[in-house]
A and B are shown apart, each in its own frame.
Chain A
């Protein structure tokens, strides 16, 4: 798995590539905690090059969403979600908890 974080004027973009499972989710959590610990609660997570996600990765997403939405200070949105990944989000009942955008620029523009 590879993670790349970019800063925009009103949000941060986190691009995740490869495989997000029990082995790699701690690193994903670390990248997101790095943002929220510094008071950045408006986050776009781009899944364009994500190949695989398990419940371990989904747990990180939901925990970060809880942190970001507290006090209405921000939220995590998703972009470029491949169909297999979308199916897992749907199976977990997550599609109502995250806004999903077709591409990263639209998602960044949402903030």
Chain B
């Protein structure tokens, strides 16, 4: 469903993402783990056509994310790490706008946004200007925007970062429900317990390089570390740091 073909991004001599090859299967929940500044957001921005790859390709459903940027978006929902919304537009109006931009008729878009606002508990807040939302509300509105066209693929950048326990639980349940419907989810995070609960498979990226992929058990075995994902993560990113240092 998502295919990275030695995708890379350099800024001058700095390698933000080193050639990355990876395949995410249909219906899979893939966790993209890494410490701050590892290249997670850069990778996701390349998937959304916001950044242009320096080398390689990333395909979603067989379509190139750079060359067929507009077509790819028909099947993809995206949530950025900090969603910023228009001044002077209400939550409902933003959702309606996104719906219409996806090609739904006005009535259909209105009906879908009303349903999603209700689902995300934003009915009342929907009549407020979205710039004044708290971070949690912004993330929920962003998620509603990402889901309005029933996408086959969800690309989420730190979806529960900064949310309170209840909100984060709600978001995770919503993601699990989407996964149960067969939606492929590509989620970046540095929150390990979320990855442990949610993901079928994870990839660990460190300093722009994919250092490990597989199910959690496989990664544990590979790192020959027993115990929590946190221990494994710390061990792997530490080793990788040493290798790069040498």
Partners in one complex: no
